């Protein structure tokens, strides 16, 4: 008997979700509680398990489609019932595949973020005529939120690229065409194998000492953060493998399924990676030259270029913020001498545990502690300024100067986290943001922001509020300056200028001054911060 699996409630208020990845295929036999697919809501990534044993007969959605809660997700033949219809299913599935391999099939650009309808082609990682493998990166695209890498769904050959570098591609429209099929010829397979050798050599060079290098050649070299698709990560989990230790043979160390399987067998990965690095480089160079000619207008010693992607989004956001919010700025000086000494004493200890302990986690935690007594700083106002909404969670955003423009990822729930937890989150988000690959979930839901302009230079700034938040602070650089102590003696102190911008519709000068005094107290007297934690 065939039966539809109905997508259940997966969160309060959730009515739809995106199919991130199918973990089974039509014709697969599944068992109760086996994960069937990963879906993404606007809150979290959720794995959907099977509720019966049987055979999957039909998947109602493709990867990237939007599925509705309480609607059929897939169809299955229940175990122990008539499976005649299921027996013919593999033939039905095989027919389109055979037809596709005879010609080209369009790759449809999937949803790449909530509300995203178009993106800019930053770079093609393949060229027309290149052979590609499943999960191989095909291109980098830029939305107004992040840089996203688009992987191949199948192995085959690229027959047509529908956009040039720098052009705008539409979501749910064809991105490129490809012919299905593996890397057919021996010379092509040899070329793929050859690309793995430099990757392994580079991996070994990262180690120190002959003994460690021997381990690297045996496949135990660690990549740190692994670059891999959800399907590859799932395979690693199924094989109980730490994917960060798998040497990736793809571009920029990307890990493929063959790498994981070879690592599980104790072998150095021998395949995966782009089929022809020479073709890719030539194609990228050609695209780059043609795009430069079309996107840049040169005349009389001047140059014009369009404002797109993150920069365009920032321009719109800043104009709306200053146009609708009456900003006022409040500056203060903070003596960080004791805090700097405390951090210096803890830095090496936590570095051995893999924790990068900078000054910023202390600033963030102190800010969260001060918000407990001044909740107005962690609120938002509605469009016509008739209602205030206070947030329980302190989602503190950190402005990051990334290669694609200004990004402000936020650390969720800072009021519940220790300084070390915040330090780990900060390291992850900063690294992702600088690469332009921070997830949309980490960019949404911020309640107050910090801009560390002093890391580059400068002492005082007038930061623009990250609407709909109500306040933002800019940190100036730390300076060693003379100050009088309690005995009237001059001594060197480590000082920082900070600049707050507040929404003057709901935050007055007295409020932000008292709030800053409390925040300052926690930073100048770390023992007071420790006592305030609970």
The residues annotated with a catalytic role in the active site are 504, 508
Three-class SS state of 238: helix
Give 100: exposed, middle or buried? Use CB within 10 Å, 0-12, 13-18, 19+.
Answer: middle
Cβ(503)–Cβ(329) below 8 Å: no
Helix (H, G, I), strand (E, B) or coil at 196: helix
DSSP line for 306-361: ---HHHHHHHHHHHHHHHHS-EEEEEEEEE-HHHHHHHHHHHHHHHTTT----SHH
Dist CA 520 CA 11 (whole Å): 39
Distance, in Å, from the CA atom of 116 to the CA atom of 5, rounded to the nearest integer, reads 29
Quote the CA–CA distance of 477 and 458 in Å, as a whole number.
Answer: 6
- Write the Ramachandran bin of 371: left for phi over 0, alpha for psi from -120 to 50, otherwise beta: alpha
Q: How many CB atoms lie within 10 A of CB 204?
A: 18
* Joined tokens for residue 487: 């005995």
CB 411 within 8 A of CB 434: no
| Tokens, residue 445 | 């839901």
Sheet strand arrangement including 131-132: 104-108, 174-180, 156-161, 131-132
Pairing of strands 137-142, 118-124: antiparallel
Checking 42-46 for CB contacts under 8 A at 24+ apart, the result is 42/14, 42/114, 42/444, 43/11, 43/14, 43/441, 44/11, 44/441, 45/20, 46/10, 46/11, 46/17
Residues in CB range of 99: below 8 A, 6 or more apart:
none
CA 212 to the chain's CA centroid: 32
- Report how far residue 520's alpha carbon sits from residue 522's, in angstroms, rounded to the nearest whole number: 5
Q: Could you tell me where the beta strands, DSSP code E, fall in 204-257?
A: none
Q: Which two tokens stand for residue 152?
A: 């191949």
| Nearest one of 123, 152, 107, 126 to 275, comparing CA atoms | 126
Q: Which two tokens stand for residue 154?
A: 């199948």
User: Are residues 391 and 378 in contact, defined by beta-carbon separation less than 8 angstroms?
Assistant: yes
- Tokens representing residue 516 in the block: 């800053």
Q: Mention every residue, 6+ apart, whose C-beta is less than 8 A from residue 84.
A: none
Q: What six digits make up the tokens of 330? A: 């409040």
């Amino acid at each position: 008997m065939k039966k539809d699996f109905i997508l259940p409630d997966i969160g309060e208020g959730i009515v739809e979700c995106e199919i991130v990845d199918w973990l089974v295929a039509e014709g697969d036999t599944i068992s109760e509680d086996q994960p069937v697919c990963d879906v993404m809501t606007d809150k979290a990534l959720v794995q959907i398990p099977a509720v019966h044993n049987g055979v999957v007969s039909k998947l109602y959605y493709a990867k990237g489609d939007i599925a509705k809660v309480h609607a059929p997700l897939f169809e299955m033949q229940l175990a122990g019932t008539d499976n005649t219809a299921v027996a013919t299913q593999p033939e039905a599935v095989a027919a389109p595949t055979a037809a596709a391999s005879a010609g080209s099939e369009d790759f449809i650009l999937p949803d790449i973020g909530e509300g995203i309808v178009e993106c800019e082609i930053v770079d093609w990682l393949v060229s027309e005529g290149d052979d590609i493998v499943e999960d191989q990166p095909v291109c980098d695209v830029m939305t107004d939120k992040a840089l996203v890498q688009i992987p191949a769904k199948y192995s085959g050959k690229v027959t047509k690229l529908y956009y040039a570098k720098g052009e705008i591609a539409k979501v749910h429209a064809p991105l490129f065409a490809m012919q299905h099929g593996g890397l057919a010829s021996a010379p092509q397979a040899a070329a793929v194998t050859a690309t793995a050798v430099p990757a392994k050599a580079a991996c070994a060079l990262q180690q120190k000492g002959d003994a460690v290098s021997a381990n690297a050649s045996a496949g135990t070299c660690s990549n740190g953060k692994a670059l891999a698709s959800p399907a590859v990560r799932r395979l690693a989990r199924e094989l109980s493998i730490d994917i960060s230790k798998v040497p990736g043979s793809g571009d920029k160390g990307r890990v493929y399924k063959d790498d994981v399987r070879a690592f599980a067998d104790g072998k150095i990965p021998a395949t995966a990676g782009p089929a022809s690095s020479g073709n890719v480089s030539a194609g990228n160079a050609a695209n780059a030259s043609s795009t430069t000619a079309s996107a840049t207008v040169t005349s009389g010693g001047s140059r014009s270029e369009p404002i797109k992607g993150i920069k365009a989004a920032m321009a719109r956001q800043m104009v709306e913020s200053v146009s609708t919010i009456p900003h006022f700025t409040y500056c203060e000086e903070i003596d960080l001498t004791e805090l700097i000494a405390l951090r210096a004493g803890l830095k090496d200890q936590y570095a051995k545990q893999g924790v990068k302990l900078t000054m910023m986690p202390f600033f963030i935690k102190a800010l969260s502690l001060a918000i407990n007594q001044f909740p107005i700083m962690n609120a938002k106002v509605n469009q016509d300024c008739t209602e205030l909404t206070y947030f329980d969670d302190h989602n503190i955003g950190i402005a990051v100067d990334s290669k694609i423009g200004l990004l402000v990822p936020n650390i969720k729930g800072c009021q519940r986290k220790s300084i070390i937890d915040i330090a780990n989150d900060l390291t992850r988000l900063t690294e992702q943001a600088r690469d332009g690959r921070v997830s949309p979930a980490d960019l949404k839901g911020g309640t107050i922001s910090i801009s560390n302009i002093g890391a580059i230079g400068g002492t005082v700034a007038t930061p623009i509020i990250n609407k709909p938040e109500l306040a933002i602070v800019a940190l100036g650089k730390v300076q060693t300056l003379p100050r009088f102590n309690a005995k009237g003696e001059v001594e060197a102190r480590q000082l920082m200028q900070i600049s707050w911008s507040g929404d003057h519709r709901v935050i007055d000068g007295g409020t932000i001054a008292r709030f800053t005094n409390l925040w300052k107290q926690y930073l100048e007297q770390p023992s007071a911060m420790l006592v305030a934690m609970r």
